């Protein structure tokens, strides 16, 4: 019978071999526990960084995103200090009224609306018998040599385009329409069943859009002439579109006719999107100040800013309990659940205390808010920094002063936040992007906080300094555990050899005793 003596305990020696081995490798076990604690602490730090990153992202998404124009402080869209009200809401059938930061308040009356139109050439022939002719081949329609014709048109931008269309006799009349529509001519050719005519019209509207030359080339059948669509550049005047026109009268009784190549016109900073012609009667609307809406927007911005810097300041100044290390699994087993919770509260305190990245970001944000833009600063509109040192840079608002500034100087208030490059919101956005941008710069780097701790949903989730550090701890733990296992096996082997030797000695002693 064979026996594996590798881990025979004190059968002959009477030693507690397990305890002896445990004591012998205790120093090495402590090393493993220390690195496990460092790993856990680094994981906690990473979680704390990511919580802050998410708070910053939420602030950025709410107040610096073009997907939210009503609260995007980088754009003047958040500072439109006016609202338009239609006297009779049913008149929305004729037009929509939009306001901008340049709108002039007052009462307005619309008396005439003419919608813009395309340049249109309608066939005046009796050639077509009906819709069924569209599916006849050109040969069936009498064009045994096919057709060839030119179209020349000008779009609203004044760009003239010309092309020649040539189709063989086996093509259908419907193919002629499709071919024209596929060319880069900015025109549409279609059959109107009610009018029983083929029509060509420009895609663009307005007086600059025109059809100036439509005719057969003479190389094949005279389809264009037969359809009554000829415009001879040398003989006929071009057919032009029609500009949109609207007549508007203000409080003083002054009137103006405003025109546009499309159905949107702007006057006194008010945008009128025209929808139907108006030839009789009138439409009344007013433009008034909406300072309360902007005040509410700025209050929301300030509140979120204060919440963010309070969160960052808390992390930077939270007390650190250096004697409270992360608990090992063995240590947790010796404590109650409540004791573990209280211990870890202290162990997790001060994870980001005096963090240089967060500290620098906070200083830069606070510094920006002291800047002025075109001679106006936050204190000019009733926003100042709290004098209570405990608030650590929080902003406070004098609502009456803010409202008056918006009413008196709406454009300057808008510029203070949204002016390109110089506006406070754009500068704050740049600081935030320096720290949490997911875009890679010319050096291959992303935001500082993402490079440090990463964020889910981005390649930095795994590729960041703290994840690399955690991976290093994991590798070191694996190495130490392997060394620990090797030493443990070594000691058990040595004790087993000792037990084996003692067994042999006992056997020999028993033999000699038996000879006496």
Rounded distance between C-alpha atoms, residue 371 and residue 380, angstroms: 11
DSSP 8-state code for residue 66: T
pLDDT, averaged per 10 consecutive residues of the chain (516 residues), comes to 45 56 65 89 96 96 92 88 89 92 88 96 79 88 94 95 95 95 96 91 96 91 92 94 96 94 94 94 91 92 97 95 90 92 95 96 95 96 93 94 90 92 96 94 91 93 94 89 74 66 62 54
Per-domain residue ranges of the chain: 82-115+243-289, 118-240
H or E element in which residue 381 lies:
none
Contact assessment for residue 277 and residue 244, using Cβ atoms and an 8 Å cutoff: no
By CB atoms closer than 10 A (0-12, 13-18, 19+), residue 158 is exposed
Instruction: Establish how many alpha carbons lie within 13 A of residue 65's alpha carbon, considering only the half-sphere containing its beta carbon.
Output: 9
Phi-psi region of 413 (alpha: psi -120 to 50; beta: other; left: phi over 0): alpha
Contacts of 395 (CB under 8 A, 6+ apart): 302, 305, 306, 369, 378, 383, 384, 385, 386
Instruction: Please report the pLDDT score of residue 499 as a whole number.
Output: 63
Instruction: Please report the pLDDT score of residue 74 as a whole number.
Output: 95
Rounded distance between C-alpha atoms, residue 223 and residue 149, angstroms: 8
Instruction: Please report the pLDDT score of residue 29 as a whole number.
Output: 72
Domain 118-240 has CATH 3.30.70: no
Contact assessment for residue 455 and residue 53, using Cβ atoms and an 8 Å cutoff: yes
Rounded distance between C-alpha atoms, residue 186 and residue 183, angstroms: 8
Instruction: Please report the pLDDT score of residue 367 as a whole number.
Output: 95
Contact assessment for residue 170 and residue 137, using Cβ atoms and an 8 Å cutoff: yes
Q: What is the DSSP string of 486-515?
A: HHHHHHHHHHHHHHHHHHHHHHHHHHHHHH
Bridge partners (DSSP) listed for residue 187: 202
Cα dihedral sign for 197, 198, 200, 201?
positive
* Residue 51 tokens, joined: 């919580």
By CB atoms closer than 10 A (0-12, 13-18, 19+), residue 289 is middle
Cα of first residue to Cα of last residue in the chain, in angstroms, is: 29
What are the C-alpha distances in Å from 99 to residues 68, 81, 102, 289?
17, 9, 8, 10
Q: Is 0.75 surpassed by the pTM of this model?
A: no
CA 286, distance to chain mean position in Å, is: 35
Contact assessment for residue 380 and residue 369, using Cβ atoms and an 8 Å cutoff: no
Rounded distance between C-alpha atoms, residue 421 and residue 425, angstroms: 9
Q: If you search the block for the tokens 């109107």, which residue do you land on? A: 192
Rounded distance between C-alpha atoms, residue 223 and residue 172, angstroms: 12
Q: If you search the block for the tokens 């936050």, which residue do you land on? A: 378
Rounded distance between C-alpha atoms, residue 280 and residue 141, angstroms: 47
Q: Which residues of 57-92 are buried (b: 16+ CB within 10 A; e: fewer)?
A: eebbeebbeeeeeebbbbbbbbbbbbbbebeeeebe
What are the C-alpha distances in Å from 64 to residues 60, 68, 303, 382, 505?
5, 8, 15, 22, 85
Instruction: Please report the pLDDT score of residue 389 as a whole number.
Output: 86
Rounded distance between C-alpha atoms, residue 45 and residue 454, angstroms: 12
| ∠ Cα 171 163 138 (to 5°) | 15
Contact assessment for residue 244 and residue 260, using Cβ atoms and an 8 Å cutoff: yes
| ∠ Cα 183 188 189 (to 5°) | 100
DSSP, collapsed to helix, strand or coil, labels residue 316 as: helix
DSSP, collapsed to helix, strand or coil, labels residue 414 as: helix
Rounded distance between C-alpha atoms, residue 485 and residue 171, angstroms: 85
Contacts of 511 (CB under 8 A, 6+ apart): none
């Amino acid at each position: 019978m064979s026996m594996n003596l590798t881990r025979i305990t004190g059968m002959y020696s009477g030693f507690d071999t397990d305890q002896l081995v445990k004591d012998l490798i205790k120093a090495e076990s402590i090393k493993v526990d220390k690195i496990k604690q460092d790993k856990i602490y680094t994981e906690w730090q990473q979680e704390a960084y990511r919580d802050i990153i998410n708070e910053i992202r939420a602030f950025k998404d709410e107040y610096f995103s073009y997907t939210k124009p009503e609260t995007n402080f980088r754009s003047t869209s958040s500072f439109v200090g006016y609202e338009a009200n239609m006297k009779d809401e049913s008149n929305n059938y004729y037009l929509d009224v939009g306001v901008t930061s340049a709108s002039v308040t007052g009462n307005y009356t619309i008396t005439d609306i003419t919608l813009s139109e395309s340049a249109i050439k309608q066939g005046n022939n009796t050639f077509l018998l009906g819709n069924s002719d569209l599916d006849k081949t050109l040969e069936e329609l009498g064009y045994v040599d096919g057709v060839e014709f030119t179209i020349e048109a000008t779009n609203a931008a004044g760009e003239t385009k010309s092309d020649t269309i040539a189709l063989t006799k086996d093509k259908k009349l419907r193919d002629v329409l499709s071919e024209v529509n596929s060319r880069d001519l900015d025109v549409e050719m279609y059959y109107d069943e009610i009018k029983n005519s083929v029509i060509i019209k420009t895609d663009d509207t307005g007086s600059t859009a025109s059809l100036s030359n439509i005719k057969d080339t003479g190389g094949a059948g005279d389809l264009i002439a037969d359809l009554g669509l000829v415009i001879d550049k040398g003989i006929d005047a071009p057919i032009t579109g029609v500009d949109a026109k609207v007549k508007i009268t203000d409080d003083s009784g002054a009137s103006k006719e405003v025109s546009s190549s499309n159905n949107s016109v702007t006057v006194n900073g008010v945008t009128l999107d025209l929808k139907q012609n108006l030839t009789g009667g009138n439409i009344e609307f007013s433009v008034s100040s909406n300072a309360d809406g902007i005040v509410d927007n700025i209050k929301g911005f300030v509140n979120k800013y204060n919440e963010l810097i309070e969160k960052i300041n808390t992390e930077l100044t939270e007390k650190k309990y250096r004697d409270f290390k992360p608990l090992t699994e063995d240590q947790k087993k010796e404590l109650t659940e409540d004791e573990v919770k209280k211990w870890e509260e202290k162990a997790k305190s001060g994870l980001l205390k005096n963090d240089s990245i967060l500290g620098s970001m906070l200083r830069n944000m606070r510094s920006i808010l002291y800047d002025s833009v075109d001679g106006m600063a936050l204190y000019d509109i009733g926003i100042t920094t709290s004098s209570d040192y405990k608030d650590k840079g929080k902003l406070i608002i004098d609502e009456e002063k803010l409202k008056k500034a918006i009413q008196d100087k709406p454009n300057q208030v808008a510029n203070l936040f949204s002016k390109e490059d110089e506006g406070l919101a754009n500068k704050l956005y740049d600081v935030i992007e320096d720290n949490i941008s997911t875009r890679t710069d010319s050096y291959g780097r992303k935001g500082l906080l993402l490079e440090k701790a990463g964020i889910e949903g981005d390649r930095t989730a795994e590729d960041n300094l703290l994840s690399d550090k955690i991976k290093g701890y994991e590798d070191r733990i694996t190495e130490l555990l392997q060394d620990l296992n090797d030493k443990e096996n070594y000691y058990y082997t040595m004790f087993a050899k000792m037990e084996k030797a003692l067994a042999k000695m006992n056997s020999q002693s028993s033999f000699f005793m038996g000879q006496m």
